Amino acid sequence: MERLQKIIANRGYCSRRKAEELIQNGKVKVNGEVITTLGVKVSEKDEIMIDGNVLANEQKEYYLLYKPRGIITSTKDEKNRKTVTDLIPTKARIYPVGRLDYDTSGILLLTNDGELTNALIHPKNEIDKVYVAKVKGFVTPVYLKALSNGVIIEGKKTSKAKSKLKKYDKKTNTSIVELVIHEGRNHQVKKMFEVLGYDVLKLKREQFGFLNLSGLKSGEYRRLTPKEVKVLYSEMKKN
C-alpha cells in the first residue's frame, strides 16, 4: 500500500505536489469514491481516476534538455508561450525536474518518474548545480568569498557554495563567474549576486550532478541512458 499522491506521481501523471493539489480539489477518485484527504493509502489493484479518466501506468522516460533562453519551464503556459515540454516530442506526460527561469539557459531534466523527481528536488540530497553567470562589474575576491560563504536572501542565509572568477572583460566591464550551489531556492543565483550589488546579464546552468551538456546545442535534447538513471537512483539512496 502506498499514499495516493505517491502512486499518481510514480505512474507519471504529474509531480507529487501537483497530485496533492488534484486530491484536495476533488479531482481524484479511488474505486469510484472521490478522495479529498491527503495520506489515503491505496494498492496497485485499486482503480484510480483523475478528471474522469482511468490512471494508467506509463513507461518511464528520462530526458536531458539544453534549455534555450525564452522558454518557459512548465508543461503549459497561460500566455501560450513555448514550454520545455514542447521541445521534446513524446506522448508521455513528462514534466521538468525543478525549474530554470525564462531567461536562463542550460541543463534541465524532464521525466514522468515521480519518485525520482521527488528525490532529486528534495533539499536533503544536496545535488551540486554548476552555473555560469555574466554580471556587470568586476567581482572582487572579497565578494567571491561572500558568495562561497553564503549571503542573506529574504532573511535566510544561503548554504556554502563554490565560486570562481573565470574572466573579466575591462572593455565591457563584465565578469564571468562560475557558481556551484546545491540548493534550489527561487531565482537563487540572481538574488545572490543582486544582494552584493551585481546585475546578472546572462545565466546558464552547465551541470546537474554528474550530468552535463556535452554534445548538445541549445534546444537539443537526449534520452538518459539506463546507466545514468541507475546512477541517479543510487546517489539518492546514499542520502
Which of the residues are catalytic?
A: 101
Q: Angle 177-111-226 (CA atoms, 0-180°, nearest 5)?
A: 90
User: Do 116 and 61 touch, CB atoms closer than 8 A?
Assistant: no
CA distance 189 to 181: 9
Contacts of 78 (CB under 8 A, 6+ apart): none
Q: What is the DSSP letter of 41?
A: E
| Burial (0-12, 13-18, 19+ Cβ within 10 Å), 78 | exposed
Tally Cβ neighbours within 10 Å of residue 34.
Answer: 11
Q: What is the DSSP letter of 209?
A: T
Cell of 34: 472521490
CA dist list (Å): 166 to 135, 179, 180, 182: 12, 10, 13, 20
CA distance 136 to 157: 23
